[in-house]
Amino acid sequence: MTLAVLASRALCGLNALAVRVETHLGPGLPSFNIVGLADTEVRESRERVRAALINSGFEFPPGRITVNLSPADLPKESGRFDLPMAVGLLLASGQLAEAAASDGPAPWADLVLAGELSLTGALVPVAAPLAIALGVAGDLPGGTLILPAGSAEHAAWVPGLRVLSARTLADVAAHLAGARGLPDAVPRPWPAGEPVPCLSDVRGQPAARRALEIAAAGAHSLLMVGPPGAGKSMLAQRLPGLLPPLSRMQALETAAVAGLAGLADAPAAAPPFRAPHHCASAAALVGGGSRPRPGEISLAHNGVLFLDELPEFSRASLEALREPLEAGRVVISRSLARAVFPARFQLVAAMNPCPCGWRGHPARSCACTPDQAARYASRVSGPLLDRIDLHIALPPTDLAALDAAPGETSDAVRARVAACRLRQMARQGVPNARLEGPALERHCPLEGAARDLLLQAMRRLGGSARAMHRALRVARTIADLEEAERLSARHVAQAVQYRRPGD
């Protein structure tokens, strides 16, 4: 056989797309060409593959070698194609005898190979093994993935596929020839994860605690406005502890995104909490780069994104949040391809009431002119605020409350939140925050008095349709926390308190 076809994966956002590695050995002057939108790292494979073959005791075949990475329009990066290319050369040159007997398409239809070779023939761990494993499990269920030791143990966390761990090219060749099997990768135990701070640490602030519970229960985004020291960050940090733990797949997906960003990719049961500084660029926030990398919103996927000092973020950064907030994913377009990263995060934002922070404070005086305060508030655009369901004003910390007995623990609140989420999922398949259009109307049946109250409130406040939809979603969650089917006037009255100033 002079043609070998093997399967590998190229990463495009979080998607690990199938790549056919076709290796052809033909007559002619010795040459080694790689075609199929290969970037520099892939082209350098030629030197690594040549040295690795020779140093593993194989012959580097003379003749004209062509490797085609297909589909050709998909950018290929990284050295992970080294291994399938080297194995392809062994097959095409007849050095892998048993496999060479089968002609035509891939001799191992459900086998995927990825690994960078060192010149010695040893395999070097690959980046983002979790993303690769999720891709293989998704479209090749029951398939087998061969990865370098060190990467394979991460990939083995993903159910639905077999992951084999290889140390050298020679080991892979021996396995494929049926001589000596590769060991199954043993997944490391899931790490315990960082402890999430408990809500009982927050003294006083009953209204804010309640708003946080509603936010957790309905997956609503939340904006807190209050003076410095009112406990905005402290409250936000406690939201992940109120949310239901992630499912296994959610945890793996979130960890895979972290792996793509070059961070530790150990899955954790607790939802992620990301709090980028307001200096963060739009690219750092939503993702970007010539080789697209996930941003903070994707690292917060299935968890919480906390933006403190919201008006201090650049306008470009805040505007870039709008679409992902609705779509739950971010698309980064480049000339060659589009990368899609998941970004289903819950936004918690905080801001001071004015530039100095003391506007409306009973004991401190604000040094800002009304004009300065208005300009400060207007740095956050209306369309972004429109996407935030819950708005609360935090009073300054009441010193007397610091001596009060600790409030409820996160565990107690999380149990109510979990029950409330189950109701929502059983009824409509999504959390209340994602109810839109006809589904919103259908799932928010109003008692007569509630309808009157809602219309009155909207008329009095000059509210828009969007404002009414926000109030309905929040009222739905308040009713769900009480296990009520229909929205009563009381639920609506509470919900309209969380309106955005100006609604």
Instruction: Note the residues at the interface with Zn ion (CB under 5 A).
Output: 354, 356, 359, 366, 368
As given in the structure block, the two tokens for residue 329 are 């994913």
For residue 214, CA distances in Å to 114, 233, 311 come to 45, 17, 24
Nearer to Zn ion, 102 or 369 (CB): 369
As given in the structure block, the two tokens for residue 426 are 């059983």
- Rg of the Cα trace of the chain? 28
Cβ 232 to Zn ion shortest distance, Å: 16
- How far is the C-alpha of 341 from the C-alpha of 332, rounded, in Å? 8
Cβ 359 to Zn ion shortest distance, Å: 4
For residue 165, CA distances in Å to 11, 26, 119, 175 come to 20, 32, 19, 11
Nearer to Zn ion, 157 or 358 (CB): 358
Nearer to Zn ion, 162 or 375 (CB): 375
Q: Which residues of 134-157 are buried (b: 16+ CB within 10 A; e: fewer)?
A: bbbbeebeebbbbbbbebbbbbbb
CB–CB of 170/138 below 8 Å? no
Nearer to Zn ion, 226 or 287 (CB): 226
Residue at 97: amino acid letter: A
Cβ 402 to Zn ion shortest distance, Å: 25
- Helix (H/G/I), strand (E/B), else coil: 255: helix
Nearer to Zn ion, 368 or 487 (CB): 368
How distant is the alpha carbon of residue 40 from its chain centre? 28
Nearer to Zn ion, 248 or 364 (CB): 364
Cβ 278 to Zn ion shortest distance, Å: 18
Cβ 312 to Zn ion shortest distance, Å: 15
CB–CB of 117/200 below 8 Å? no
Cβ 358 to Zn ion shortest distance, Å: 5
Nearer to Zn ion, 128 or 230 (CB): 230
CA dihedral for 429, 435, 441, 443, sign (positive or negative): positive
Nearer to Zn ion, 251 or 366 (CB): 366
Instruction: Name the residue among 301, 295, 287 with its Cα closest to residue 247.
Output: 301
Cβ 491 to Zn ion shortest distance, Å: 35
Helix boundaries (H) for 103-200: 129-139, 152-155, 169-176
Close Cβ partners of 367 (under 8 Å, ≥ 6 residues apart): 356, 358
Cβ 374 to Zn ion shortest distance, Å: 11
